[in-house]
Structure 1
Amino acid sequence: MNDAAPARRIHIIQGEYKVVNDPDVVLSTILGSCVAACLRDPVAGVGGMNHFLLPGSAEAMAAGGDATRYGVHLMELLINGLLKQGARRDRLEAKVFGGAKTIASFSNVGEQNAAFAMQFLRDEGISVVGSSTGGDHGRKLEFWPVSGRARQYPLTGAETQRTVALETRPARMPPKPVDNNIEFF
């Protein structure tokens, strides 16, 4: 008989990141050409995942792009979130997943995403301890941020195409806050 409680699953969608320090949490996502970077500090017992659509640059974001779509923004948010939870930059380790070429006639944004993530981590001095990128099928990914364990499942052609449809639709915009201010004349 197994008395262990089942893991609590948190699903990460495109443009999101999550940092946790609970060993009973598993982060999951589904990737086509998008990339997920999974980072953790094994000493502090904290880790997290992001899920980005495009590599991005300061110029692209300044031109009016939604920052949450871009790897450069989400990588910084993930690292800063880990540091706020007690991680140290010199102990961070990473695993990188995704970046499939899911549409034959489409530019290989998946390859660009994976290359960006690897270069970003190299530039930041963060050790990459595992990766699974490229190919022509999407992946379902599970990551246990405290232990660093990761598991992926290849998607079938139909599942990959559904993932591509999700990745190519516009990102959902958060609702604008309600302005409760009253102005008197």
Structure 2
Amino acid sequence: MTIDASFRRVHVIQGEFKVSDDPDVVLSTILGSCVAACMRDPVAGVGGMNHFLLPGEANGSGGEATRYGVHLMELLINGLLKKGARRDRLEAKIIGGAKTIAGFSNVGEKNAEFAEQFLSDEGIRIVGKNTGGDVGRKLEYFPVSGRARQYPLSGNELQKTVALETAPARIVVPKPADTSIEFF
């Protein structure tokens, strides 16, 4: 299957998840030490992908939570259920978790282990896995068919991915509520 003009590409960035039941959608992302969990319900014809930077869960809330696996795994599962999936039919693929920075702790390995343990604890069958190594990946996932393709990152793409993963967290602070009153 080649990506042609009939497919609509939807990019999933770090801290996001996307769900689709459109057979003409391909979800894509770029992974270094991050992991993407790709899940689908083959009967309902709905699937999705998340992209998380760190295993476990955040102590804080708001924008910081989106970097963590627990938060994004729950959001993905709930998104699939809202689109008609059933938990007992979900199947998953885990991709990513490379050790892209020599000398750093192997957070990629911890991400992959977390994803596998989380899915096992939730009773979600893992039908494919490609994790580890020392090179990042470009991932394409077809959420309705469940097909996943990956390509190794080139030098420039890998440098950009490492820079994103080592950047400090951007915490989104909500605007204060407008407390003004307008009389007319």
Where in structure 2 are the equivalents of 1:1-185 lying within 5 Å? Answer: 6-57=6-57, 60-62=58-60, 66-174=64-172, 176-177=174-175, 179-183=177-181
Displacement of 1:135 after TM fit? 0.1
1:30 partner letter:
I
Displacement of 1:166 after TM fit? 1.1
Report the Cα distance in structure 1 between the residues aligned to 2:17 and 2:94, rounded to whole angstroms: 14
Question: Identity, % of aligned pairs?
Answer: 74
Gaps of 5+ in 1: none
TM-score, normalisation: structure 2: 0.90
Query: Alpha-carbon deviations, 1:77-132, whole Å to 9, x = none?
Result: 00011011110000000001000000111100000000000000000000000011
Runs (4+) off by over 2 Å: 60-65, 156-159, 170-181
Report the Cα distance in structure 2 between the residues aligned to 1:5 and 1:158, rounded to whole angstroms: 26
Q: Is the alpha carbon distance of 1:89 and 1:64 closer, same or farther for their aligned partners in structure 2, counting shifts above 3 Å? A: closer
Q: Is the alpha carbon distance of 1:75 and 1:108 closer, same or farther for their aligned partners in structure 2, counting shifts above 3 Å? A: same
Displacement of 1:162 after TM fit? 1.7
1:151 partner letter:
R
Report the Cα distance in structure 2 between the residues aligned to 1:115 and 1:69, rounded to whole angstroms: 16
Query: Alpha-carbon deviations, 1:45-102, whole Å to 9, x = none?
Result: 0000000000023xx4248881100000000000011011110000000001000000
1:81 partner letter:
G
Gaps of 5+ in 2: none
